[in-house]
Amino acid sequence: MGEKVLRIGVIGTGFIGKQHIEAIRRIPGAEVVAVADSNGEMVKSVSEQLHIPSYYSDYTELLKKKDIDIVHNCTPSALHFEINKAVMKSGKHVYCEKPLTLNTKESEELVQLSKEKGIAAGANFNYRHNAMVQEMHERVKNNSIGEILVVHGQYLQDWLLYDTDYDWRLDPKLGGESRAVSDIGSHCFDTMQYILNKKIISVYANLITVYPIRKRTEKVGGTYSNQQGKVLEEVSIHSEDVAFIMIKFENGTQGLINLSQVGAGKKNGLSVTISGSTASLEWEQERPDKLWVGHRDSGNEEIYASSGFLTGAAKRYALLPNGHPLGWTDALKCAIQSFYEAILHDTYQEDKQNYATFADGHYIMKLVEACLISSQHKEWVDIQ
């Protein structure tokens, strides 16, 4: 990146906030100067352990700092709307975790505000920045697997397998009305739309709540950590543990998405298969630096991430020589870097960006809402 130093503030220093800090520190010319988290003890210890000069338990104090260029919003989803608005009103660029908000009313307002204020506004759909997802995007663009016949996406996890598993995502006030679709389906939507460079325009969803009652204990675990202590109360759950979603893209391509947060043994099992008329492409997030190319009349191939074997713009995502596996943290770094480059090159107001914009995040909220309506009415729902 250029010579200018970008000064960054991170709000929310839980699971993903710490990953952002690490990723930002790998980007030349970017410096984390302040962190904020409502958990005062935690933000103090993050600031001390990671040598970040300023820390606040009230994020509005961080926003008063004049020397911050970009704020990352890594708080629970219910706070994205309020905090993103406050960041933009303070004149700083904002990079927010997914899902962008809890509903389209909020996400639409954020898109408007970012335009009015001329603010760069990115949503962290990090998987599109994996080298092999970039390669799939390039190969589809170059027509190298022929006409796209059908696409399959899957995201399976097991961290909510037991009825004693609980975190803020299960509380509709904090996580929203949808859970599996909003939390992990949103990643499928973004990754598949990015690979095909086409929007999903219609959905038919069947949302399933496996546990209508869950048990909340004294100490609710953080993201991906177990609860501890005595069971305090039984909580009614209305959001979905599982979703089956049929999808139609704007060019007529059809596909299927399969989501679960109760699949024993599946940790972060995102995968996408694109079936073309001459070959298929498949990427599995838990084998992040490999791309499977399927053939009918010859042997299948497995390509490793290496600039020598990747195509076009995907080459620059192969950060290491062949055999030095790229992974989740590399995709996050590339996602953030892509956003920062648009700021440094002053191109962030252009409609099409390589990173997911707030407009993309808003469109994904429309897909989430459409799934809720579709499942309720048992019918196809078009995106307006």
Ligand X SMILES: NC(=O)c1ccc[n+]([C@@H]2O[C@H](COP(=O)([O-])OP(=O)(O)OC[C@H]3O[C@@H](n4cnc5c(N)ncnc54)[C@H](O)[C@@H]3O)[C@@H](O)[C@H]2O)c1
Site residues (vs ligand X, CB under 6 A): 11-17, 36-39, 42, 59, 74-77, 79, 97-98, 124, 126, 183, 222-223
d(CA 290, CA 295): 16
Instruction: Provide the minimum distance between the beta carbon of 167 and ligand X in the complex, in angstroms, as a whole number.
Output: 7
H/E element holding 326?
Answer: none
Contact 204, 245 (CB under 8 A): yes
Q: Which residues contact 64 (CB under 8 A, 6 or more apart)?
A: 90
d(CA 159, CA 105): 30
Enumerate the β-bridge partners of residue 243.
207, 259
Closer residue to ligand X, CB minimum distance, 18 or 248: 18
Instruction: Provide the minimum distance between the beta carbon of 173 and ligand X in the complex, in angstroms, as a whole number.
Output: 12
Helices (H) and strands (E) in the chain, counts: 11, 18
Instruction: Provide the minimum distance between the beta carbon of 174 and ligand X in the complex, in angstroms, as a whole number.
Output: 9
Instruction: Provide the minimum distance between the beta carbon of 12 and ligand X in the complex, in angstroms, as a whole number.
Output: 3
Closer residue to ligand X, CB minimum distance, 40 or 325: 40
Question: What are the structure tokens assigned to 174, written together?
Answer: 């904090």
d(CA 256, CA 258): 7
Instruction: Provide the minimum distance between the beta carbon of 342 and ligand X in the complex, in angstroms, as a whole number.
Output: 19
Instruction: Provide the minimum distance between the beta carbon of 119 and ligand X in the complex, in angstroms, as a whole number.
Output: 19
Instruction: Provide the minimum distance between the beta carbon of 195 and ligand X in the complex, in angstroms, as a whole number.
Output: 17
H/E element holding 90?
Answer: none
Backbone angles phi, psi at 18, to 5 degrees: -65, -35
Residue among 47, 48, 88 nearest 68 (CA) = 88
Residue of this chain nearest to ligand X (CB atom): 14
Residue 70 is which amino acid? I
Q: Which residues contact 376 (CB under 8 A, 6 or more apart)?
A: none
Contact 241, 209 (CB under 8 A): yes
Cα angle vertex 211, ends 206, 214, to 5°? 140
Closer residue to ligand X, CB minimum distance, 140 or 326: 326
Closer residue to ligand X, CB minimum distance, 39 or 142: 39
Closer residue to ligand X, CB minimum distance, 75 or 253: 75
Instruction: Provide the minimum distance between the beta carbon of 169 and ligand X in the complex, in angstroms, as a whole number.
Output: 7
Closer residue to ligand X, CB minimum distance, 41 or 116: 41
Contact 156, 216 (CB under 8 A): no
Contact 237, 111 (CB under 8 A): no
Closer residue to ligand X, CB minimum distance, 77 or 275: 77
Enumerate the β-bridge partners of residue 208.
242
Instruction: Provide the minimum distance between the beta carbon of 201 and ligand X in the complex, in angstroms, as a whole number.
Output: 24
Closer residue to ligand X, CB minimum distance, 191 or 253: 191
Instruction: Provide the minimum distance between the beta carbon of 171 and ligand X in the complex, in angstroms, as a whole number.
Output: 12
Question: What are the structure tokens assigned to 313, written together?
Answer: 């713009």
Q: Which residues contact 328 (CB under 8 A, 6 or more apart)?
A: 126, 268, 285, 288
d(CA 103, CA 93): 22
Closer residue to ligand X, CB minimum distance, 73 or 374: 73
Closer residue to ligand X, CB minimum distance, 77 or 90: 77
